[in-house]
Amino acid sequence: MPEAMGFFTDTTICIGCKACEVACKNWNQLPATNGGVTEMSGDSYDNTRKLDGTHWRHVKFIEQFEGPYNGRWLMMSDVCKHCVQAGCLEVCPTGAIIRTEFDTVVIQSDVCNGCRACIAACPFGVIDMNPAAGTAQKCTLCYDRMEVGLEPACAKACPTDSIQFGPITELRTRAQKRVDQLKAQGEKRARLYGDDPNGPLGGLNSFYLLVDEPEVYGLPKDPKLPSRNLNRSGTFAAASGAVVGLLALVGLRKRRMDEMN
């Protein structure tokens, strides 16, 4: 069986060129816009705003400035995390979302019924509807390319190797060495996000090297599966049902007393 494959994204060497976005759209034949929106966003150089059904790669520009001469830009090419424990796969009612032999998560458009359950279940806001297809869509980690021994289009196009593709075990080792290197150079905030198989969601098959808190990059600090709330929700639903039933009985008794009078 093939090894688990994925991405390690070193945000410290991303130059914001968007080559990954272009390569992703070109290979997957995605429309340039989502729903016909063509105007500039006005958000710095970030014109695609977020991941959605037609943007499977999104380069974030995070500006951190204190005065005119003191600051930095943090850049990050974001994508589906291909979670080891995937909420989207857990809630899909049709079996449209599958785990491949590479341990990646893929939505089969021909099976998707457009119910949107996966959109709500994703803790990273990755999935959205593709208006043209009428189904939920996201990054497939170029499954069709991997099947024939090719690396994903985004990693192939990245000019700085910010996006690195390969076996997850190798990527984790490489990523830790890079963190150690940055800390030795004085970047004490260097950290990995999503690399720990014992961490949230069983680890991410697309993980990141960050130099600030995850929230700065728009990443949840402690992502959770939707099932984590089922017990609590079930208890709440049972309690709510009991209250509704009690109110119904009270109302029925009152109506009968009124009829008797």
Q: Is the pLDDT of residue 204 over 90?
A: yes
The model's pLDDT over 153-170, given as tens digits with 9 standing for 90+, comes to 999 999 999 999 999 999
* Res 250: pLDDT: 40
The model's pLDDT over 210-242, given as tens digits with 9 standing for 90+, comes to 999 999 999 999 999 986 544 443 443 344 344
Please state the rounded mean pLDDT for residues 78-102.
97
Q: State whether 32 and 76 are in the same domain.
A: yes
- From the list 77, 84, 83, 41, the residue with the least C-alpha distance to 56 is 77
Q: State whether 238 and 117 are in the same domain.
A: no
Q: State whether 241 and 113 are in the same domain.
A: no
pTM score of the predicted model: 0.83
What SS3 class is residue 77? strand
Q: State whether 191 and 252 are in the same domain.
A: no
Q: State whether 74 and 151 are in the same domain.
A: yes
Q: Is the pLDDT of residue 189 over 50?
A: yes
* Res 35: pLDDT: 55
Q: State whether 219 and 231 are in the same domain.
A: no
* Res 47: pLDDT: 76
Average pLDDT, the chain: 86
Please state the rounded mean pLDDT for residues 181-194.
97
Which CATH number fits the domain that encloses residue 129? 3.30.70.20
Look at the chain and report how many structural domains it folds into. Answer: 2
Instruction: Identify the domain containing residue 254 by its residue range.
Output: 227-260
Whether 8 contacts 175, CB under 8 Å? yes
Q: State whether 247 and 192 are in the same domain.
A: no
- From the list 93, 98, 58, 95, the residue with the least C-alpha distance to 82 is 98
Q: State whether 63 and 83 are in the same domain.
A: yes
DSSP code of residue 39: S
Please state the rounded mean pLDDT for residues 86-95.
96
The model's pLDDT over 31-78, given as tens digits with 9 standing for 90+, comes to 876 555 556 666 667 778 899 999 999 999 998 887 777 888 999 999
* Res 155: pLDDT: 98
In percent, the amount of the chain with pLDDT more than 90 equals: 73
Positive or negative, the Cα torsion across 235, 121, 99, 82?
A: negative
Q: State whether 192 and 130 are in the same domain.
A: yes
* Res 33: pLDDT: 67
Q: State whether 112 and 205 are in the same domain.
A: yes
Q: State whether 155 and 250 are in the same domain.
A: no
Encoding tokens for residue 146?
A: 């991997």
Q: Give the length of the chain.
A: 261
Q: State whether 255 and 154 are in the same domain.
A: no
